[in-house]
Amino acid sequence: MAVEILKENYAGKVLSMTIGVGDRAVTVGGATALPFHSFEGEVGNRPLIAYEVLDTVPEDPPASLQEELESVWDDPVKWAKYCQDEQGARAIALRLVSTDPDGQDASPESAAETVKKVLDAIDIPLVILGCFKEAKDGPVLKAAADAARGCNCLIGKAQEENYKTIAAAATANGHKLIAFSNLDFNLAKQINILLSQADFDINNIVTDPTASALGYGLEYTYSVIERIRAAGLMQNDAMMQPPMFLDLSSVVWKVKEVKASEEDLPEWGDRTERAVHWEAATATSLLMAGAEIMVMTSPRAIQTVEKTIDQLMA
């Protein structure tokens, strides 16, 4: 008997967006169906993984990352070039942790310097992340946006408390914006509405619904993303159609499962493989839900996910 495949009729689509300039600019989004459902619609552009680069040596990093990145992480320019030239990165995510007021409290000007240096060294798109403290991110991202003028970067994260400053800086310098909300379907919509009311073009936004790591709230992020996708695709809700951005690095690398040694927990198996798997499995789960851009750290985990995406787009 012939099976009649049940195809979903999608009323909406995921918006597409380009970051970076020149030959190596990258376009994401554009799907007209649920993730990788090529049997019933366009899958759109390949999801993008941006390699995380910190502007200072990481504090208390897991041993497995140390093995992979220690030789480059003393200098953000070296680190970024390594990801681009040796690892084949398609984008870099520069995190300006040095600006954290509870840490080094570096000035917006010094952060802008770093942004310039990194941009000079690479020709792939750059994501610029602040330290994620609302008050400080405003001035820092403004300075960074000025310094990166014309490079079509993706900057953020803009939150309810600081979105006006950051959105204005993005518009003035031709950048795209990460709209962050706290793991809640309605808040994810709310921030897009606020930005739209402030005349920020919805086509220049990516939605960050809050990442969570495998074992640490993954299911909440998973379901929020699925619901956002359903609203954008099935109900054609225009405020729920930007590409989805997930900052995995900020949540994966502090959990016990990537840190604990084999001596302490022999039943958890090889520490390095475990850490790579943790980041890759978190990413793969979120790809199933609808992630378009992910910030990740371990080159091996990224390559694992890239190969998985190859298969998903085969």
Partner 1 sequence: MALTGIEIFKHLPKTNCKDCGFPTCLAFAMKLAAKQASLEDCPHASDEAKDFLGAASAPPVRKVVVGAGDAAWTLGEETVLFRHEKKFVNPSAYAIQVADEDPELAAKVAAIAAFKVDRVGEDYGVNLIALQDASGDAGTFSAAVKTVVEAAPKLGLVLATRKVDLVEAGLAACEGKNPLVYGADADNIDALLPLVKGKASLVVSASDLNVLSDLAEKATGAGVEDLILDPMPANAREALERLTQIRRLAIKKNYKPFGYPLWMSAVHEDPQIEGTLATIGTMKYASVILLSELRAWEMLGLLTGRLNIYTDPQKPMQVEQKVYEVGNVNGESPLIVTTNFALTYFIVAGEIENSKVATRLAVQDVEGLSVLTAWAAGKFTASKIAEFIKESGVASNLTRKEVILPGYVSVLSGTLEEKLGGDWKVVVGPREANQLPQFLKTCAQG
Interface residues toward partner 1, by CB under 8 A: 1-3, 5-6, 36-39, 182, 214-219, 222-223, 226-227, 230, 254, 256-257, 259-260, 264, 267-271, 273-274, 276-278, 280-281, 284-285, 288-289, 300-301, 304-305, 307-308, 311-314
Q: Does 165 bind ligand B12 (CB under 6 A)?
A: no
126 vs 244, beta carbon nearer partner 1: 244
178 vs 301, beta carbon nearer partner 1: 301
Least distance from partner 1 to the Cβ atom of residue 249, Å: 16
12 vs 108, beta carbon nearer partner 1: 12
Rounded Cα distance between 299 and 312, Å, is: 20
Do residues 151 and 188 touch, judged by C-beta distance below 8 A?
no
Do residues 29 and 46 touch, judged by C-beta distance below 8 A?
no
Question: Among 30, 41, 174, 217, which residue sits at the site for ligand B12 (rule: CB under 6 A)?
Answer: 217
Rounded Cα distance between 245 and 268, Å, is: 30
184 binds, among ligand B12, partner 1, none (CB under 5 to 8 A by kind): ligand B12
Q: Does 251 bind ligand B12 (CB under 6 A)?
A: yes
For ligand B12, which stretch binds (CB under 6 A), given 8-16, 52-60, 106-114, 180-188? 180-188
Question: Among 216, 285, 288, 308, which residue sits at the site for ligand B12 (rule: CB under 6 A)?
Answer: 216
Q: Does 223 bind ligand B12 (CB under 6 A)?
A: no
Question: Among 184, 270, 273, 310, which residue sits at the site for ligand B12 (rule: CB under 6 A)?
Answer: 184
Question: Among 212, 249, 298, 304, which residue sits at the site for ligand B12 (rule: CB under 6 A)?
Answer: 212
Least distance from ligand B12 to the Cβ atom of residue 183, Å: 5
Q: Does 182 bind ligand B12 (CB under 6 A)?
A: yes
105 binds, among ligand B12, partner 1, none (CB under 5 to 8 A by kind): none
DSSP of the chain: ---------------EEEES-GGG-EEEE--SSSTT-TTSS---SPPEEEEEEESSPPSS--HHHHHHHTTTTT-HHHHHHIIIIIT--S-EEEE-GGG-TTTT---HHHHHHHHHHHHHH--S-EEEE--S-HHHHHHHHHHHHHHTTTS--EEEEE-TTTHHHHHHHHHHHT-EEEEE--S-HHHHHHHHHHHHHTT--GGGEEEE-----TTTTHHHHHHHHHHHHHHHHTS--GGG-SPBEEE-HHHHTTSHHHH--TTT-GGG--HHHHHHHHHHHHHHHHHHHT--EEEE--HHHHHHHHHHHHHHT-
Least distance from ligand B12 to the Cβ atom of residue 184, Å: 3
3 vs 199, beta carbon nearer partner 1: 3
Rounded Cα distance between 231 and 242, Å, is: 11
21 binds, among partner 1, ligand B12, none (CB under 5 to 8 A by kind): none
Cα 133 to Cα 141, 156, 178, distances in angstroms: 11, 11, 15
Q: Does 226 bind ligand B12 (CB under 6 A)?
A: no
251 binds, among partner 1, ligand B12, none (CB under 5 to 8 A by kind): ligand B12
Least distance from ligand B12 to the Cβ atom of residue 190, Å: 10
Residues in contact with ligand B12 by the rule CB under 6 A: 182-184, 187, 210, 212, 216-217, 220, 251
